[in-house]
Amino acid sequence: MKTIKLFFSTLLVVIISAIGMTSCNDDDELKDKVIEVTMSVSDNTDIMYPLFDDNKENPIECMLVMEDGVDQTWRKMSFSMIEGFTYEKGHRYKLRAKKTILANPPADGSAWKYELVEVLEDKEITSPELPVETTIKSEADIAYEVQCPIEKYSVSSPIFVDGNGKMFNSEGNERPSYKNCRIYLNNVLNMTDPDSVKFNSTTYMARYAYVISPLSEQIRLVVASGGGPMMKYIVTEEDFRYITSTMKEGEQLTYILLLANVYKKGIQKLALTFVRK
């Protein structure tokens, strides 16, 4: 009888110990760590490559970021890495962000996640208008990427402009001001297209736009990353004054945006029309 009691007593101790160890393991389980950091974002960009792109065939334009209190060197980071932050080329930023250090990061991803808390500083350093090669004097001089032009992007057009410079879409909703309005490029690529995966690669992403203005013979090259080009880069201040002050009600101007990839090769041609309201 004593032997049986001793057996059950020992068994009870083992069970309790096992439960205790399990509780400890639960308490000691690795958890994500969240801290707040200050970050600098350069006005210059760089090129990075997807994780498994060993042959470096698909370059991706990216930001250069430096985190305060860490090694003071610029680190490459994708444009979408900081949730809630929209990068504009030619601008230098100071950000406050929430940084999540992942306890179990994915094998094919980053060990950190960032979420924008506040833009502390946004300073335009360089003009986003880039020099066009002297050989490009007309639309015919712009070389297209293989299998282009393709119908991948669309823009909301026309844009209605009144005499005070206020802008409205086709539904009558007011758009942001001239300096803050972005011309968003909507991806309308048919996903049933047999080449849809290829056409969504870097080679077929719009990073620049050649601007062909009805008021100028000069072709300008502007940045189109960040969702699309800013309107102030497409329409010069002089052109905008002409639209608001000289054009009569119902008159319209159409700009041609010849979208280009990271190699500045053409992808697709879009028309952006402005109508005097």
pLDDT in tens, 50-108: 877 777 777 788 889 999 888 778 899 998 899 999 888 778 899 999 999 988 888 76
Q: Mapping DSSP to helix (H, G, I), strand (E, B) and coil, where does residue 78 land? A: coil
Using alpha carbons only, how large is the chain's radius of gyration in Å? 27
How sure is the predictor about 1, in pLDDT bands with cuts at 50, 70 and 90?
low
pLDDT > 70? residue 48: yes
Alpha-carbon gap, residue 161 to 55, rounded angstroms = 48
pLDDT digits (tens, 9 = 90+) for 105-151: 887 678 889 999 999 999 887 666 777 888 899 999 999 999 999 99
Q: In terms of DSSP bridges, do strands 208-212 and 219-223 run parallel, antiparallel, or are they unpaired?
A: antiparallel
pLDDT digits (tens, 9 = 90+) for 17-32: 555 555 545 545 678 8
- Of the two residues 272 and 192, the one the predictor is more confident about is 272
The helix/strand count (H/E) of the chain reads as 4, 16
Which phi and psi angles does 98 have, rounded to 5°? -90, 120
DSSP codes of every residue in 152-217? -EE----EEE-TTS-EE-TTSPBPPPTTT-B---EE---TTSTTHHHHTSGGGS--EEEEE-TT-S
Alpha-carbon gap, residue 221 to 209, rounded angstroms = 6
Structure tokens at 260: 């280009």
Sheet strand arrangement including 252-260:
129-130, 219-223, 208-212, 252-260, 266-276, 159-161, 167-168
